[in-house]
Amino acid sequence: MLTTIGGALYKRGSLYGASLVASEFEEPNILIWGPRGCSSQVVEATNNQRHLYDMYHFRVTQADMMMNGMATVTPQLLSMVRGCNVPGPLFFFLGDATALISEDLESLIESRISPDFPIIYVETGFKGDYRYGINETVFRLVQRLCRKKTERDPKRLNLIPEVGINPQWRADAAEVARILGKFGYTVSIAPCRSQLSDIADMTRASRTLLMNPDVGKKAAQYLSDTHDIPFFVPKKLPIGVWGTKLWLDEVAGFLGIGAEAVSKVHYEEEAEFFFIVRPGLREERYHVRANTIRESAFVVCDDRHRASQWARTMMEELQFKRGWIFPTWVGEAAPEEVRGVEVLPEGDLPSLTAHCSRPEVRVLLGADWVDELLEGRTKCKAIPIANPMSRRISLGARPYFGYRGMLNVVEDALNSVVC
């Protein structure tokens, strides 16, 4: 009997995260050095991002390296690098046993090719999970391309998004950029369907804002240390109408925006939100489902920090009766405590199944691996707030963050309730 959820179900490896970032660039070329399992992670990640790529996989065993060393590795590796000399950036991922090689592969490769060739070298090995891969790749991009000092624009802002953390992350970043644009800022979202020049242009910004404390902090610290570009990691996420206001209050302090300006934008956005939502209250089916929510419960499966913020929105803004959090990751950000919400043990499948099977649980927020595990064991409906997503197809830009994102959250919650 399966009593715990294996980490592989929701904790993809570092190469998966590195590939999520690489696939955000036009025609990326991905060179992988490692065992067969490395390529499967890259294929899954790039499919998840719905982006095309060229992949070259150099397979080598640990025995080859220990017995023959660089005499075997170097010629094949360099021939592959030369073969990748086509338009588009080359992401070179080292996925296995790099400690067994005595030579500096990064310097070796750069010495054998044109210095103008855009190579992004990322040594992930088997360290960490996919967040580690995301962080290392974003950092290497910034370190490689943000070398020249440029004149800074006081109204230009870098936004490092939640690359691949959730299915609608690009739409979430666009919604955050729209809100910040109301204060006169030009927001550069990178990496997000980017060119390499977009990364180089990050030195033109006056500040850097992170959307998630576990994504992009190393790159932001590099920009701060080398270009004096300060960065900020809000404790809140812009989830819900009131949650977005709390997030704005934090960000406004960093950007030097006055409280009056924040209130003006908030009241305008709030009025637009209720202008759309309130007419529905007159419809009987809307009214019945809204009342059903007040007698219902939910389960949210996500990293501990994000899950607590989703739980707050479900309890305080959608007025669910109670909820449970099933944490899939515990990062450095401190989660907030939410009244009426209990935190379940991480990885405890029987506990998750038991709570999702409760008759009052109508909504499940999380990735579709949870849907698959619970298939046939629960009647609650899923709202996709986390990756990986292999069953759900999403073609449009549909945010969950910000004021407009909350409209989608309300819509999905109402459609998920079985009356």
Q: What is the 3-state secondary structure (H, E, C) of the chain?
A: CCCECCHHHCCCEHHHHHHHHHCCECCCEEEEECCHHHHHHHHHHHHHCCCCCEEEEECCCHHHHHHHCHHHHHHHHHHHHHHCCCCCCEEEEECCCHHHCCCCHHHHHHHHCCCCCCEEEEECCCCCEHHHHHHHHHHHHHHHHCCCCCCCEEEEEEEECCCCCCCCHHHHHHHHHHHHHCCCCEEEECCCCECHHHHHHHHHEEEEEECCCCCCHHHHHHHHHHHCCCEECCCCCCCCHHHHHHHHHHHHHHHCCCHHHHHHHHHHHHHHHHHHHHHHHHCHHHHHHHHHHHCCEEEEEEEHHHHHHHHHHHHHHCCCCEEEEEEEECCCCCCCCCCCEEECCCCEHHHHHHHHCCCCEEEEEECHHHHHHHCCCCCCEEEECCCCCCCCCCCCCCCCCHHHHHHHHHHHHHHHCCC
Same domain for 27 and 132, yes or no, is yes
Domain annotation covers residue 382:
yes
Least confident of 17-26, 59-68, 329-338, 352-361: 59-68
Confidence at residue 71, expressed as pLDDT on a 0 to 100 scale: 53
User: How many other C-beta atoms can be found within 10 angstroms of the C-beta atom of residue 136?
Assistant: 22
Residues 6+ apart with CB under 8 A from 75: none
Distance CA 389, CA 155 (A): 36
Average pLDDT for 318-326: 94
Q: What is the CATH number of the domain that holds 358?
A: 3.40.50.1980
Read off the pLDDT band of 100 (50, 70, 90): very low
Read off the pLDDT band of 109 (50, 70, 90): low
Residue 75 has pLDDT above 80, yes or no: no
Residue 118 has pLDDT above 70, yes or no: no
Domain annotation covers residue 266:
no
pTM over 0.85: yes
Residue 5 has pLDDT above 60, yes or no: no
Which residue in 192, 190, 213 sits closest to 203, CA to CA? 190
Least confident of 11-15, 80-84, 338-342: 80-84
Same domain for 244 and 299, yes or no, is no
Domain annotation covers residue 271:
no
Residue 62 has pLDDT above 60, yes or no: no
Residue ending a domain, choose from 255, 270, 296: 255
Average pLDDT for 235-262: 95
Confidence at residue 9, expressed as pLDDT on a 0 to 100 scale: 47
Same domain for 126 and 30, yes or no, is yes
Range of the domain at 365: 279-416
Left, alpha or beta for 76 (phi > 0: left; psi -120 to 50: alpha)? alpha
Which residue in 306, 347, 338 sits closest to 320, CA to CA? 338
Domain annotation covers residue 267:
no
Same domain for 122 and 30, yes or no, is yes
Q: What is the pLDDT of residues 152-207, one digit of tens each?
A: 999 999 999 999 888 889 999 999 999 999 999 999 998 988 888 899 999 999 99
Read off the pLDDT band of 99 (50, 70, 90): very low
Same domain for 243 and 291, yes or no, is no
Same domain for 141 and 176, yes or no, is no
**Would you say 43 and 66 are in contact if contact means Cβ atoms under 8 Å apart?**
no
Distance CA 138, CA 115 (A): 20
The number of folded domains in the chain is: 3
Which residue in 178, 220, 328 sits closest to 234, CA to CA? 220
Confidence at residue 7, expressed as pLDDT on a 0 to 100 scale: 42
Same domain for 27 and 97, yes or no, is yes
Same domain for 18 and 134, yes or no, is yes
Domain annotation covers residue 262:
no
Same domain for 140 and 79, yes or no, is yes
Q: What is the pLDDT of residues 390-403, one digit of tens each?
A: 677 666 678 999 99
Confidence at residue 67, expressed as pLDDT on a 0 to 100 scale: 54
More confident: 371 or 53: 371
Confidence at residue 266, expressed as pLDDT on a 0 to 100 scale: 97
Residue 44 has pLDDT above 80, yes or no: no
Domain annotation covers residue 265:
no
Confidence at residue 381, expressed as pLDDT on a 0 to 100 scale: 80
Domain annotation covers residue 361:
yes
Phi, psi of 198 (to 5 degrees): -65, -35
Residues 6+ apart with CB under 8 A from 391: 368, 371, 372
More confident: 186 or 357: 186
Average pLDDT for 42-56: 61
Same domain for 363 and 251, yes or no, is no
What is the residue-averaged pLDDT of the chain?
80
